[in-house]
Structures are given as structure tokens and as C-alpha cells.
Amino acid sequence: MVLGHRAQVSALQHQLATRGLSHAYWISGPPQVGKTTLALAVAEELLSGRDWPGGLPAHPDLWLEDGPGSIGIDRIRAHDSDLEAAQGPSLQHFLSLSAFAGAAKVAVIGNAERLSLPAANSLLRLLEEPKPNTVIWLCTARPDSEHLPSTLRSRCQQILLGPVPTDAIAEWLERVQGVGSEPARVAAAICQGRPGLALELARDPELSRRADEQLSQFIACAEQGPRGWLELSRQLAERGTDRQVASGAVRVWASFLRDCCCLATGAPQLSRWPDRSAQAARWSQRLGAEGCSRRYDLALDALSRLEEMATPRLVLDRLLLLTFGDAPENL
């Protein structure tokens, strides 16, 4: 199921109906926003994957590379039969064979920035001489990666996916995924429009409690000095593993600041934290639209730095000092 992205889905449905699919697509957008899901949905329609025993994943005319780790040249163009027997056919080998069950073959590469440079160059040669009735999908959250040369993108039809509306994600979590209303609301509020991340967050039974606690900690910082700000930074940076606590706290904080921006610009109906509306209103009045927006940008920048594996303590120190260093007193 593809959640959101109506314009992109409609365009691809038209191409399917008119047999006008391109030989290659480049889908970019935030992590876990639905890029690979969209590619596989089109593959399912093109290959009639629902009717195949075992579904689309078992279809012999689908080649999928969506695992962890880098993608070496042997995955794209292998000459070692023992290696192919162990990891499956290379993309070149797969494309060289005739379609087994229909008139098309589909290859999907998730997180294409995992390609090594030799693998990307080898893939480029395949795209320059496309096989008839084949479709290759490259999905990436890092389109500017040094491992993805611009010549690779230029051989593909480009599709950009943006955030999915919060209400749509919350409804999907409840109706389709069976998530309770409160964790669905919180997960949708802090996932930044990324359904995959929302589902991951909603599976945490402590999500709502932790989010409320973290937001209270950030708001309380407004009444503290630098020592208090740096102490919160230390606590968040030293808890948990894999920077999960730090990233989760900043997502909650960014979501609250977004509410402040909505109130400051006269759009209260877009708020995501109704139980914090009084506090958000006070912040929006004291800081104004520009002040709220600047702090929201700081939070988004911190999230980006954390996702790029920057040191959590340094990221949090910078965020808290810049956020509260020149804030009006008694927020």
C-alpha cells in the first residue's frame, strides 16, 4: 500500500495503463517516506505479483536489492558462479534472461547510495544500453551521495517524494496497522511525514509517555541557564544506544516548535499537540513567527546532523545553546 504521494501514483498509473513506463526511475525523498514501497507497488501491477504463489517477493521476474551494507560491483556484474549461487544472480545476469512469467522484468535497488563507485559505474553501463521490457528503480534518500554520479541520475526519469500528511499517517496507523489512537497521534506528529518511521515509532509501548517527558524537559529549559541546558544535553546524549534517545527527543521538540510556528502565523488548525496548545501559544507570542521559525530550523538541522552520524552531545549542546541563549525570559 502506497500512503500519500497521489500525484506521483497517478502519473505512474497512467504510464502503466498506456504502456509508457520508462526503462529506469530515480526516486528520491526523505528516509522511510515510501520510495521503495512505491517502486514495488508498480512492480506488483506490472508483473501481476498478487497472483503469483508467494506474492511479489517470490516472483522470478523481480530483482530486489534492499538489504543492509554496501552494494559491490559483484552484485551488479558478477562473473563468479559460486558467488551468484550464494547471493543470487547479479543484476546484469538477471536482465540478460528472458522474462519467466510475463512480458517484463523489474529491478529495484533500495537505498541506492549504498552502491560502491565501481558498482554505480557498472550500473550506468546497463542504463545506457537498456534491455527491452525492463524497468530499473533506484531509490535514495541521499541523491547527492558521492557514490551516485549525476550521469546515473540523468539516465532515469526522476520522481521526488515529499512528506505524507500527518492526519493520513495517523489514520493509516490506526486503521491498517492496528495502532491505538494515542500512540498513532504521537507517532504521526513526530515522524516528519515518514510513514515507515511512524510505524517504527508506534511499536514502542513507551512512546507517548517518553514523548511527553522529553517535551516537558525541553520546555523547562527555557527557565534555566546554560548549566541546565548542558545538563539536559548530557542526559539525552548518554541515554540509550544508536542515538535513538537524542534523535527521538529532537523530533518531539521540532514537532512542538512547528506548532509554535503554526500559531504564530495564524494557522492553529495545523497544530499537532493539542494538550500543549497553551504553552505553544505563549512561545509563539513571545518569539513571534521569525523567532519560532528560526528555532524550528535549528531543530531540523540538529536532526539532520544526527542522521549524518555527528556526535550527539555536540549536536545537542549546539541546539540548546542557540535555542535558549537569546530567548525572552520566562517563556
Mean per-residue pLDDT, 79-84: 58
Q: For 6-160, which CATH superfamily applies? A: P-loop containing nucleotide triphosphate hydrolases (3.40.50.300)
Q: What is the pLDDT of residue 143?
A: 86
Of the pLDDT bands very low, low, confident and very high (cuts 50, 70, 90), residue 301 is very high
Please count the other Cβ atoms lying within 10 Å of the Cβ belonging to residue 131. 16
**Span 91-147, pLDDT tens digits:** 998 998 888 887 899 999 999 999 999 999 999 988 988 888 899 999 999 888 877
Average pLDDT value for the chain? 88
Say yes or no to pLDDT of 90 above 80. Answer: yes
**Span 253-289, pLDDT tens digits:** 999 999 999 998 888 888 888 888 888 888 888 888 9
**Percentage of the chain with pLDDT > 70?**
94
* Cα 234 to the center of its chain, rounded Å: 27
More confident residue, 83 or 324: 324
- Domain map of the chain by residue range? 6-160, 168-205, 207-324
Query: CATH assignment of 207-324?
Result: 1.20.272
Residue 27: how many CA atoms within 13 Å on its side-chain side?
Answer: 28
pTM score of the predicted model: 0.86
In angstroms, rounded to a whole number, what is the distance separating the alpha carbons of residues 146 and 126?
19
Mean per-residue pLDDT, 29-52: 92
Q: In terms of Cα–Cα distance, which of 329, 83, 74 is closest to 221?
A: 329
Of the pLDDT bands very low, low, confident and very high (cuts 50, 70, 90), residue 222 is confident
What totals of helices (H) and strands (E) does the chain contain, helices first? 15, 5
